[in-house]
């Protein structure tokens, strides 16, 4: 049963990566073909909404799988060691969306790397955020960090509570290693459900942050941002695979 669950997890992630690659190509085509016409702006808006829906579907799928095996999402075998080192409650920090916007807006080492990733995509439009847009992005960042900190605090409490009774009683007892009783099983089951709930809330914050950000950016800026974020995610996965292979981890 465990191997079957792991296969479901791996399949979900592989399908997501394939969809990311497909969406990236479509985003690049949409950006390079942009003419500025009203019809084209509508097409770019539809493309942004399509990508948001894909993320929504992925979040829903993760929620279903976490209901059966939540712990797997906090040290996923389907991710590389590099990706796992950057995890926050089963995924990336939502504030990474906003940091990426800032990186695309002005000169920095990250921006130059992303420009290299996106060579051939076209000129940047995120460097021309209006004053109103920058104010809204800053407001979103402040709100986002506050919500992240709240979830991080709750996550820390869960990790601390798992060491409390009745689990601590197992460590003090003389029973064989790995042997559990009804109270222990009940505590572990409650912990698994709490972790699944935390993953769901973190995923919803990631999704909500993306939606709010797309509401601030123009359709063209949104397409450019989505292309950059997908290219960065896919690149991180490939870098991680190369590192794991060089260290004999696969």
Stretch 144-167: mean pLDDT, rounded?
A: 88
- Assigned token pair, 226: 């989505």
pLDDT, tens only, 94-145: 999 999 998 888 654 344 444 544 554 444 456 678 889 999 999 999 999 9
Residues 6+ apart with CB under 8 A from 155: 89, 198
pLDDT, tens only, 207-245: 999 999 999 999 999 999 999 999 999 999 999 999 999
pTM recorded for the entire structure = 0.86
- Tell me how far the alpha carbon of residue 88 is from its chain's centroid: 9
> Residue 164 — very low, low, confident or very high, per pLDDT cuts 50/70/90?
confident
Task: State the CB neighbour count (10 A cutoff) for residue 160.
Answer: 9
Task: State the CB neighbour count (10 A cutoff) for residue 117.
Answer: 14
pLDDT, tens only, 16-59: 999 999 999 999 999 998 888 899 999 999 999 999 999 999 99
Task: State the CB neighbour count (10 A cutoff) for residue 121.
Answer: 20
């Amino acid at each position: 049963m465990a191997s079957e669950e792991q296969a479901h997890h791996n399949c979900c992630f592989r399908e997501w990566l394939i969809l990311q690659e497909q969406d990236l190509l479509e985003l690049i085509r949409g950006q390079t073909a942009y003419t500025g016409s009203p019809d084209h702006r509508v097409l770019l808006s539809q493309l942004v909404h399509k990508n948001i829906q894909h993320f929504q579907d992925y979040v829903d799928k993760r929620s279903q799988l976490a209901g059966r095996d939540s712990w797997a999402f906090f040290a996923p075998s389907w991710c590389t060691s590099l990706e796992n080192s950057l995890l926050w409650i089963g995924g990336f920090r939502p504030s990474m969306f906003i940091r990426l916007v800032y990186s695309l807006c002005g000169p920095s080492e990250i921006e130059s790397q992303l420009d290299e990733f996106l060579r051939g995509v076209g000129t940047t439009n995120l460097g021309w955020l209006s004053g109103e847009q920058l104010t809204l992005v800053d407001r979103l960042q402040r709100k986002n960090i506050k919500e992240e900190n709240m979830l991080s605090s709750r996550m820390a409490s869960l990790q601390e509570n798992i060491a409390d009774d009745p689990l601590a009683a197992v460590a003090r007892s003389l029973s064989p290693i790995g042997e559990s009783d009804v109270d222990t099983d009940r505590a572990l089951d409650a912990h698994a459900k709490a972790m699944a709930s935390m993953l769901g809330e973190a995923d919803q914050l990631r999704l909500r942050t993306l939606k709010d950000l797309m509401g601030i950016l123009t359709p063209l800026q949104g397409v450019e941002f989505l292309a950059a974020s997908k290219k960065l995610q896919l690149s991180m996965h490939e870098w991680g695979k190369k590192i794991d292979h060089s260290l004999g981890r696969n």
